[in-house]
């Protein structure tokens, strides 16, 4: 009798360990780019447009503890001429500069996310759901709108490949990403600046654009869609809306 009890306990324990391992194997820690820290080619840094900076490029290079050669290599600027003033450039951070940002509480959120779930696609705390999918003014609104300040970081909702990046009429500057998970596509519209191009592979939580109001838009926001074989799906079924209850298990930590 005792042997049977021990055997039963071992079976239950083995099953628990198996299911726990399977569950945890589908999840991983995702660092979400924010207003202070961006990522590109596995480097931490910041996207900036030199013509919009109050300081010279050389001053920023010193401040961020990087070098012009490193900036040129990361951005594939092989020409030895001046760095382009009106184009977004990724400036990597030196190790000590990154530590200062973390000490100031500016580190990225770390989200424990299942690979099948999508992330909230705006990397700033100053963002909120402003419009849902459905009929609006006698026409179908094919996604959700997320109101946010102009030039807020827009992040990839999941790992994938950029299939479209450019200007598309009412969508303005927009990006489409193809995800291997369930062959879903996500769309990010009305951006002011695009930071990726067609063919780029992007990671979940990586910045891909800066928000804006291009195309048919009445103010800065992100129009976000989820599609399957061009069939419109409700994004609220795939992402967690901050401030709402959700069956998705998310753990928020700080880097």
User: What is the gyration radius of the CA atoms in the chain, in angstroms?
Assistant: 21
Supply 53's token pair: 């900076």
Task: Tell me whether residue 57 is exposed, middle or buried, using C-beta atoms within 10 angstroms of its C-beta: 0 to 12, 13 to 18, 19 or more.
Answer: middle
Residue 248 has pLDDT above 50, yes or no: no
Could you tell me what percent of the chain has a pLDDT over 90?
72
Q: Three-state SS for 188?
A: strand
**pLDDT interval class at 254 (50, 70, 90):** low
Nearest to 61 by CA among 104, 93, 101, 98: 93
**Beta-carbon contacts of residue 12 (< 8 Å; ≥ 6 apart):** none
d(CA 76, CA 50): 16
Residue 164, by phi and psi: left (phi above 0), alpha (psi -120 to 50) or beta? Answer: beta
pLDDT at site 249: 42
Per-residue pLDDT, averaged over 81-89, amounts to 93
Which residues in 137-206 belong to E strands, given as ranges? 139-141, 144-147, 153-155, 160-167, 173-178, 184-191, 193-194, 201-202
CA-based torsion, 61, 64, 67, 70: positive or negative: negative
Report the first-to-last Cα separation within the chain, whole angstroms: 51
Residue 7 has pLDDT above 90, yes or no: no
Please identify which residue in the block is written with the tokens 């753990």: 251
Write out pLDDT tens, residues 110-121.
Answer: 998 998 899 999
pLDDT at site 245: 55
pTM (predicted TM-score)? 0.85
Write out pLDDT tens, residues 173-196.
Answer: 999 999 988 789 999 999 999 999
Nearest to 132 by CA among 9, 40, 233: 233
214-217-220-223 Cα dihedral, nearest 10 degrees: -90
Supply 115's token pair: 């690979």
């Amino acid at each position: 009798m005792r042997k049977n009890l021990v055997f039963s306990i071992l079976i239950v324990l083995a099953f628990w360990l198996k299911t726990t391992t399977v569950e945890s194997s589908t999840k991983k820690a995702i660092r979400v780019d924010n207003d202070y820290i961006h990522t590109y080619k596995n480097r931490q840094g910041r996207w900036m447009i030199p013509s919009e900076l109050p300081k010279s490029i050389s001053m920023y290079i010193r401040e961020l503890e990087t070098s012009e050669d490193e900036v040129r290599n990361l951005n594939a600027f092989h020409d030895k001429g001046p760095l382009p003033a009106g184009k977004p450039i990724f400036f990597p951070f030196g190790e000590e500069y990154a530590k200062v940002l973390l000490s100031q509480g500016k580190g990225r959120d770390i989200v424990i996310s299942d690979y099948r779930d999508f992330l909230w696609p705006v990397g700033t705390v100053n963002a909120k759901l402003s419009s849902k999918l459905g009929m609006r003014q006698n026409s179908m609104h094919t996604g959700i709108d997320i109101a946010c300040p102009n030039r807020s970081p827009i992040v990839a909702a999941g790992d994938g490949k950029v299939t479209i990046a450019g200007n598309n009429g009412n969508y303005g500057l927009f990006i489409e990403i193809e995800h291997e998970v369930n062959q879903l596509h996500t769309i990010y519209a009305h951006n002011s600046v695009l930071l990726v191009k067609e063919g780029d592979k992007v990671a979940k939580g990586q910045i891909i654009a800066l928000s804006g109001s291009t195309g048919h838009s009445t103010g800065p926001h992100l129009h976000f869609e989820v599609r399957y074989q061009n069939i419109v799906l409700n994004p609220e079924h795939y992402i967690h809306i901050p401030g709402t209850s959700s069956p998705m298990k998310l753990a928020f930590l700080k880097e």
